[in-house]
Amino acid sequence: MKTMWKRRSGALVLAGSIALVAGGCGKKAEEKGGEAAGEKAAEPATPATLDPAALRAKAKALFGTPPAVYENKENPQSEAKVALGRTLFFDPRLSKDDTISCNSCHKLENFGVDGEPTSKGVGGGRGDRNSPTVLFSAGHFRQFWDGRAVDVEEQAKGPVLNPVEMAMPDAGAVEAKLQAIPGYVTMFKAAFPQAGDNAVTFDNMAKAIASFERTLNPPAPFDAWLGGKDDAMGEDAVAGLQAFVDTGCTTCHNGPLFGARIYQKLGLVEPWPSTEDIGREKETGKAEDKFFFKVPSLRNIAKTGPYFHDGKTADLAAAVKLMAKHQLGKELDDGQTGKLVAFLGALTSEIPAGFADAPERPADGPVPANPAPEAAPAPAAAPEGAAPTPPTGG
């Protein structure tokens, strides 16, 4: 998770939504061996010309299969911790007005996204970037589009305190809210037994949510095909995999997650049409980081639109063509694009039963957040025969 890669040619070569490529697949123009921008991509292989065995061997070398759980030795997994994290993930009480949960923007029933260009937070405000899928997010080399968080433990803290998202004022307010819920006190003690009565902390909240997120890695048909099951992918998907390799997408989209391993410049070969978001430069203040974003994972990409950091592209085929044009300098026709889209569909996870079921959350505590003042004692009765006391203000 925390492996750091060296910077090379302006990109960090080596962990967030997800959306497709914010800074996509391809090489810089000077590294492309003289390819002219705008050239036609090579025709994809047909079933008659494919060598499935050779393609599978190449795919194993390029991609591989992700683990069932992304472990973090500094935050060891336990059933109690994962159960607490799942409960917190679905609980809107982590937001200022009890309306927004992690699942609001990263809906597990919808492959970990809300399907909107940008997500609504407390009061209806919207963030400025697309919310990527939480599925496989623990395997990314950095978190968020600009990579400002090292891992999902750090990432889990950000939205809770973000004034546009969940809008809690500070870590202390989060802790006080959780400590007032007896069921959570019990769950925190079970998840962090070494902490005893001090288990309910902001850091432990983030660790629990991260532990749950580290389990959200359901396999896809591609994984079965890679393991030797020939009929797990259709002919178009296999041909699309060959095209994915031949077109050059693997320059950035490699490894078990098909990306999420480097930063890359958006508009590497041909300038991107929208330049409002300057990418990592906004975070680092370095001019060389302008328009660089984390290359996201392509797993579940067919289900996690709209695409790119701004969520402005709704159609996957259109997104694929944009990537080929701006990152590779290649123009794809509809046939070539269709093959690639068929392959990307084979990266859609097979979701197990109960995956998106929200657990029962602990009931609010018996003490309200703002207890009503005690009622004033009733005035003593006037002695028999005495004149009645006039009402106040009378």
- Which residues are the active-site residues? 165
Mean pLDDT of 338-342: 98
Mean pLDDT of 326-339: 97
pLDDT at 45 (0 to 100) = 56
Residue 324 has what DSSP assignment? Answer: I
Asked if residue 178 lies in contact with residue 187, where contact means CB atoms within 8 angstroms, the answer is no
Task: Tell me how far apart the alpha carbons of residues 243 and 239 are, in angstroms, rounded to a whole number.
Answer: 6
Asked if residue 317 lies in contact with residue 337, where contact means CB atoms within 8 angstroms, the answer is yes
pLDDT at 365 (0 to 100) = 76
Task: Tell me how far apart the alpha carbons of residues 112 and 355 are, in angstroms, rounded to a whole number.
Answer: 11
With 0.75 as the threshold, say if the pTM is over it.
yes
pLDDT at 246 (0 to 100) = 97
CATH code that applies to domain 79-213: 1.10.760.10
Domain 7-66+219-345 homologous superfamily, CATH: Cytochrome c-like domain (1.10.760.10)
Per the model's pLDDT, the better-predicted residue between 35 and 360 turns out to be 360
pLDDT at 317 (0 to 100) = 98
Task: Tell me how far apart the alpha carbons of residues 119 and 103 are, in angstroms, rounded to a whole number.
Answer: 11
- pLDDT tens readout for residues 69-128: 999 999 999 999 999 999 999 999 999 999 999 999 999 999 999 999 999 999 999 999
Residue 7 has what DSSP assignment? Answer: E
Domain ranges of the chain: 7-66+219-345, 79-213
The yes-or-no verdict on residue 379 having pLDDT over 60 is no
Residue 162's contacts (CB-CB under 8 Å, 6 or more residues apart) are 121, 127
Task: Tell me how far apart the alpha carbons of residues 220 and 94 are, in angstroms, rounded to a whole number.
Answer: 32
The yes-or-no verdict on residue 227 having pLDDT over 90 is yes
Task: Tell me how far apart the alpha carbons of residues 161 and 95 are, in angstroms, rounded to a whole number.
Answer: 8
pLDDT at 241 (0 to 100) = 98
Fold equal for 7-66+219-345 and 79-213: yes
Confidence of residue 9 (pLDDT cuts 50, 70, 90): very low
Mean pLDDT of 298-310: 98
Instruction: Give the Å distances, CA to CA, from 275 to 108, 257, 279, 286, 309.
Output: 31, 27, 9, 16, 11
